[in-house]
Amino acid sequence: MKKRNNAYMAMMPYIILAIVLVGAFFFLNTGREITHELKTGELISEIREENVTEITITPKSSESIYIVEGKLKDYEDNESFTARVIGEEIQTITDYAEEQKIKEYETNKDPGSNEFIYILVNFLPIVIIVIAAYFMFTRLAAGNNKSMDFGRSRAKLSEDGGQVRFKDVAGLKEEKEEVQELIDFLKNPKKFQKLGARIPKGVLLVGPPGTGKTLLAKAVAGEANVPFYYISGSDFVELFVGVGASRVRDMFKQAKQTAPCLIFIDEIDAVGRQRGTGLGGGHDEREQTLNQLLTEMDGFGANEGIIIIAATNRPDVLDPALLRPGRFDRQVTVSLPDSNEREEILKVHAKNKIFDKEVNLKNVSKRTPGYSGADLENLLNEAALLAVRRNKEAITMDEIDEATDRVLLGPAKTSRKITEKEKRLVAIHEAGHAVIGLKLQDAQEVHKITIIPRGMAGGYTMMLPKEEKIGIMTKDELIAQITGLLGGRASEENFMDEITTGASDDLKRATKIARSMVTEYGMSDLGPIQLEEKHEGVFLGRDYTKSRDFSDQVALEIDQEVRKILESCYKEAKKLLAKHETLVLLIADALMEHETLTKEQIDYLVEHGKLTAEVMQEKDSEETKVEKTLEELKEEAKEKGLKGYTKMTKEELEEALKEEKEEE
């Protein structure tokens, strides 16, 4: 009853407005003209005295009545008279009018439906206003005064769960197994209830952008074939405090009516950030929305049959209450794909594209470590666009190579004018990176060198890991990586006797690795201690007031250790480049002539000391050859009965198997 009274109170301004509009309408209509009612005798007297200047006679068909309208001499412009004349009296009026020859004398025909038109014109606007006001008030009352539907849920419903299935999601084998239980529960809940098992109320998909979190959620809904609500975290938050909480309540109310069902919240960090943070306190609207979400997930009421899947790439900013058991019970990490998964993803996105027979997606997958599923889709799309631009019938390796460079650094700036000195500097710089990669034991493998400007870079050297790892790196590998980054600056100083600004990004990356070695990984003389944690200033209030866990003396020692690592690596780079001076100058000269060198051309140049026209024109035959992984080589060695194969490296296994084949 109280809610209804509140709704009526909210209607009062609209009712008052409607009354004012209707009053204004009547005032304007009545104040525009002044009409005098004359009796038949008065009208005849005025005509006899020749006071009538205008007269109009209109017969009425339903009765023997005539409507006479006109003006008198002493009337103002907005004054007129009207009279109702019955039967025979009209003849007297018409005779006098014709006798006096009144200038504006007119006799109308029977208007028939004029009364209806008159009513329509005068009363239809009022009817429209009343009907519009009625529907407006009804809607307000039905919405319990929620300010024009602001409190309604923005979640969209897909009755059949959508068209995406697990077969449409390449890779993510372990992740699919983790969410398979949800599908089994939605299809056959009694199997779990029989053993007293409780299915997770919420599953949080965590991973870098573009790895397929949203696609995996769609596939879960598609496989389960249940109603699927999907909404973004930002759809809850509004200008008015309390609207987001109202939307959460409404969303769960709708979900209960269609249970069992799935709710997918994309980018949940927009609404699930930690409460009470920031210099000025919290965010009332967002925090109330989060409180309501927490209550709905595991409050006094039970939401049986409703499973929530949420996705974010920032789990570190989420409120701890959101991640406790009973709410998001399970976290599924959707990481970047490995080589085999990248190949599967490439095959999915290659279905509607035409490739040249020389293109081998397995080798493309090996050349793209660190790429997400979205990156790979973008790579093939860029290659297709380039093929169309070049008027080709199919996508070749040339387009894929160019697309890789475009995705990393942007389009090549071939029209930019470069002086010979600048070109030589870039060639020497990139040759320094390449020689470190070729001659340092733990360095990454050189795949491509170019001195064609792209984006902000004058050139670049593509270096990829020799073997794909899960993310663990040794100290020697980190030192080799820093040495490789400093190889460009060392080469400039060794062979050009000057240093340039071209190494700024290399120095930034090298310094970051060195500092992480000292403060995070415990790889310095300070010992196995973590002095800093990775954080990116998510909450200004929290990080602004955070104190350091070490003294100024330790801070000085950290700086000294970082400098020691960088100086040691720089000296090693200069020493290695001085030792292989001939190779540096050889690669630099080849870059000056050809601008871009591939891995096969670099290997040929190192082995023969020159590049022939056949090598430069030859298609990349290695791209069509499928390289075997270390596990495949070990399996082949096992079949051939090769001794000691388990302790061999990939290169040693390839050489041993080659010798075995030659002996056969």
Among 576, 459, 278, smallest CA distance to 286 is for 278
Residue 222: pLDDT over 60: yes
The answer to whether 417 and 562 have CB atoms below 8 angstroms apart is no
The answer to whether 168 and 219 have CB atoms below 8 angstroms apart is yes
φ/ψ of residue 73, rounded to 5:
-60, -40
Cβ atoms within 10 Å of 92's Cβ, excluding its own: 15
The answer to whether 34 and 77 have CB atoms below 8 angstroms apart is no
- The pLDDT value recorded for residue 256 is 78
Q: What does the DSSP assignment read for 634-649?
A: HHHHHHHT-TTGGG--
Q: How many CA atoms lie within 13 A of 223 on its CB side?
A: 21
Residue 409: pLDDT over 60: yes
**CA 306/CA 656 separation, integer angstroms:** 58
- The pLDDT value recorded for residue 490 is 92
pLDDT higher for 640 or 527? 527
- The pLDDT value recorded for residue 179 is 81
Pairing of strands 65-72, 52-60: antiparallel
Mean pLDDT computed over 215-242: 73
Residue 612: pLDDT over 60: yes
C-alpha pair distances (Å), 221 with each of 77, 155, 313, 645: 77, 15, 21, 46
Task: Please report, as a single letter, which amino acid is at residue 53.
Answer: T
Place 629 in a pLDDT band, splitting at 50, 70 and 90: low
Mean pLDDT computed over 556-579: 92
Among 290, 263, 158, smallest CA distance to 201 is for 263
**Per-residue pLDDT tens for 177-215?**
888 877 787 777 777 777 777 777 788 888 888 888 888
- The pLDDT value recorded for residue 513 is 92
Residue 76 annotated as catalytic: no
- The pLDDT value recorded for residue 147 is 46
Question: Which of 46, 267, 399, 430 is labelled catalytic?
Answer: 430
Pairing of strands 261-266, 306-312: parallel
Residue 599: pLDDT over 90: no
**Per-residue pLDDT tens for 37-54?**
877 777 777 777 777 777
Place 472 in a pLDDT band, splitting at 50, 70 and 90: confident
Q: Which two tokens stand for residue 255?
A: 């979900």
- The pLDDT value recorded for residue 283 is 58
Place 517 in a pLDDT band, splitting at 50, 70 and 90: very high
Place 217 in a pLDDT band, splitting at 50, 70 and 90: confident
Q: 180-184, 556-560, 656-660: which range is least confident on average?
A: 656-660
Place 544 in a pLDDT band, splitting at 50, 70 and 90: very low
- The pLDDT value recorded for residue 641 is 72
Give percent of the chain with pLDDT exceeding 70: 74
Q: What does the DSSP assignment read for 520-564?
A: TS--STT-S---------S-HHHHHSPPPSS-HHHHHHHHHHHHH
**Dihedral angle sign, alpha carbons of residues 610, 615, 616, 620:** negative
Mean pLDDT computed over 411-428: 80
Q: Which two tokens stand for residue 533?
A: 């944690």
**Per-residue pLDDT tens for 357-398?**
888 888 888 888 888 888 888 889 988 998 898 888 888 888
Mean residue pLDDT across the chain: 76
Cβ atoms within 10 Å of 73's Cβ, excluding its own: 10
pTM of the model: 0.63
Mean pLDDT computed over 103-114: 56
Q: 93-97, 245-249, 431-435, 490-494: which range is least confident on average?
A: 93-97
